[in-house]
Structure 1
Amino acid sequence: MEGLAALSGTVTLATALGVALAIDRAWGEPPAWAHPVVAMGRYLGALGPRLWALPAATARLGGALAWCLGAVLVLAVALALDIGVGVLTAADAPLEQAVLRGALLGVLFKPLLAWRMLRDEVRAVDHALSQSLEAGRSRLGRLVSRDTASLSETEVRESAIESLAENLNDSVVAPLCWFLVAGLPGAALYRFANTADAMWGYRDHRRWMGQWAARVDDVLSWVPARLTAVMLYLAAWRRPDWVALHAEAVRTPSPNGGWPMGAMALLLGVKLGKPGVYTLHVKGRAPLAQDTPQALRWAGRAVVLTAALLTMGYGLYEGYTHV
């Protein structure tokens, strides 16, 4: 019975990840009215302007309390859905129950990861840039928060590749990791934390309001960001160079973003950076037109490898603990 319980858990996880990635590949994102991340963004967007207008100490406390309230709401909804799936899939046949539970969880988990949207947006930047620099700048503005109006062709390409690498962690690998660790509530909490950091984690006069959000995102992304870098190396069939990778990762202000971006820069042999902030792989060449498709291929393989690795690791762990 213990072996069957271990197998059921692995089947549930494998089915959930497979269904989520299959839905993502086939249909992409759900409509805005049904998208949980959009709802998170509305909550954060409604409170943000009110909080950053407050004095520093009040904004810091208010930002932390508002974040915690939002996190509780997200966890409550996710936990209720998780419990509901458990009730709906209660059956006497463990493996059939595991498959059905995994399928339902996969449907609910899908909006919390966004590989197809990320891939398509990066492809769109590359396509627009092949038409004109102005078109490339305009399309890049949908992908990054920085001002794109004065970027050169090289800088547009750099920004797209950087965004691909960083968001590969934020939008795919980290949600997969937290789904493994804590199921639907874990993945939902991570996406709330990451969205809060994106919307509140400013480095200007608004930084006090988003200080808590930025720190929590740093903590929750610490392991997934490094795993993303490793997955990119494996996707390129290369052994990770930890010394070189660490040297690049610490160049960025973020404790996490530099790992997948540094890995991508080293693997492609290109220089990536944000003007006036950091430069990765300074001895690399400027990115060329063929580098973006190659980066996308590696990123796509990394998604599949991550899902397979997490499922295998979970299966081995469950098998060991039930011996």
Structure 2
Amino acid sequence: MRVSGEGLLLGVALDALFGDPKRWHPVAGFGRVASVTERFLYKDSRWRGVVFAGVLVGGAGVGGVVLERLGRGSVLVTAVSTWVVLGGTSLGREGLVMARALERGDLVAARERLPHLCARDPQGLDEAGLARAVVESVAENTSDAAVAPLVWGAVAGVPGLLMYRAINTLDAMVGYRNPRYERFGWAAARLDDAANWVPARLTGALVGLCSGREAWRVFLRDGKKHPSPNAGRVEAAFAGALGVRLGGVNEYGGRVERRPEMGDGRAPEARDIRRAVGLSAVVTFAAAAVVWGLR
């Protein structure tokens, strides 16, 4: 299969210009299909979860093959598919909304907005806690929403793009360690870990290349401390690049997680959100350049 490097780059440009489609977003439509499928297949069983993930991810792959064949590998089909699955620009916009709320001291607005970025319970968070949550989310999603789709698009074209986004969406829906999803969501979570293993490390390396020695040092030293096999690599690199300290106590719906700290700097502040968003954009374009160079 010949991958359209031009299509991937054009998709990055479309995302930079427009962000996510405002209406009829295919990823939202996939989420609705997944919700209906879950109602039919759900059982507190790993096997049911394997079937659930297999049907939906496989269906996304078949859809990608059909699109690619109908478009005869056209640049336009690849570009639109890339635009649809990327989320880097929308991620940055959400980060800036949070930055503006914190800069004007509006903690109520910031707490209300935080669920747009992550599942962390915002009610007990002060300014520093909110800033840390946003910086960590921007870091992790630079890999999940920007670099990883480009990697899989480069490897497997439109089917790779759509299957990756299906995997990542299912992980966001059911990949939780709670009584309902610990077994049913196991397959989706493990697929997401596998799909993001290389992209997360590539993202961390690109942060180092774009930022310098300190990002590399913290990436290599602290990335493996995180309970996630992937998120820690990117968060550690961002911590080093921004000169801040990430990690600590997080609360998710009454469940408390204590994560090792990464980086040697101060606690994040509102202004660091803007720096994280800028770094995320630079890394996304660097990833696009790598994809172009390897096509």
TM-score by length of 2: 0.90
Deviation of residue 258 (structure 1)?
A: 0.4
Unaligned runs of at least 5 residues, structure 1: 1-8, 90-100, 315-323
Q: Is the 8 A contact 1:67 1:213 kept in 2?
A: yes
Question: Match of 2:252?
Answer: none
2:32 equivalent in structure 1: 42
Q: 2:49 aligns with which of 51, 59, 63?
A: 63
Match of 2:13 in 1: 22
Residue 63 of structure 1 and its aligned partner are, at CA, apart by 0.8
| Cα pair 2:226 2:232 within 8 Å, conserved | yes
Question: d(CA) in 2 for partners of 1:116 and 1:267?
Answer: 20
1:186-234 per-residue CA deviation (whole Å, 9 max, x = no partner) reads 1111111111111111111121000011111111100000001111122
- Structure 1's 125 and 297: CA in aligned 2 closer, same or farther, altered over 3 A? same
Aligned partner of 1:310 in structure 2 is 291
1:252 aligns to 2:238 (yes or no)? no
* Offset at residue 109 of structure 1 (A): 2.1
**107, 111, 119: which one pairs with 2:80?**
107
CA contact 1:115–1:172 (8 Å) conserved in 2? yes
CA distance in 1, matches of 2:264, 2:22: 44
Q: How many Å separate the matches in 2 of 1:223 and 1:191?
A: 15
Deviation at 1:263, TM superposition (A): 0.5
Aligned counterpart in structure 1 of residue 154 of structure 2, from 167, 180, 183? 180
Q: Distance in 1 between matches of 2:142 and 2:174?
A: 20
Separation in 2, partners of 1:223, 1:306: 13
Residues of 2 paired with 1:227 and 1:187: CA distance? 17
3-state SS, counterpart of residue 188 of structure 1: helix
Kindly report the root-mean-square deviation, in angstroms, between the aligned alpha carbons of the 2 structures.
Answer: 1.9
Residue matched to 2:64:
78
Matched with 1:116 is: 89
Aligned residue number for residue 129 of structure 1: 102
Find the residue that maps to 1:241 and give its secondary structure.
helix
1:48/1:200 contact within 8 Å kept: no
Q: How many residues matched?
A: 285
| Gap runs ≥5 in structure 2 | 250-256
Distance 2:13 2:40 in 1: 40
Question: Quick check: 1:159–1:274 contact (8 Å CA) kept in 2?
Answer: no
Moved more, 247-256 or 224-233: 247-256
Please list the CA deviations of residues 11-39 of structure 1 after superposition, one character each: whole Å capped at 9, or x if unmatched: x31x2122112211222212442x22112
CA distance in 1, matches of 2:82, 2:133: 29
Letter in 2 for 1:29: D
* Helix, strand or coil at the partner of 2:270: coil
Per-residue CA deviation, residues 257-278 of structure 1 (Å, 9 max, x unaligned), is: 1011111111112111251421
Whole-angstrom distance in 2 between the partners of 1:85 and 1:308: 24
Match for 2:128 among 131, 154, 159? 154
Quick one: structure 1 residues 165 and 282, their matched pair in 2 at CA, closer, same or farther if it must change by over 3 Å?
A: closer
Q: Deviations over 1:108-158 (max 9, x none)?
A: 221011111000000001111122111111111221111101101101000
TM-score (norm 1): 0.83
**SS at 1:207 equivalent:** coil
Structure of greater Rg: 1
Of 159-168 and 65-74, deviating more is 65-74
Distance 2:165 2:271 in 1: 32
Aligned residue identity for 2:274: P
**Counterpart for residue 272 of structure 2:** 291
Structure-2 change in CA distance of 1:75 and 1:203 (3 Å): same
**Residue in structure 2 matched with residue 208 of structure 1 by the alignment:** 183
The amino acid across from 2:34 in the alignment is L
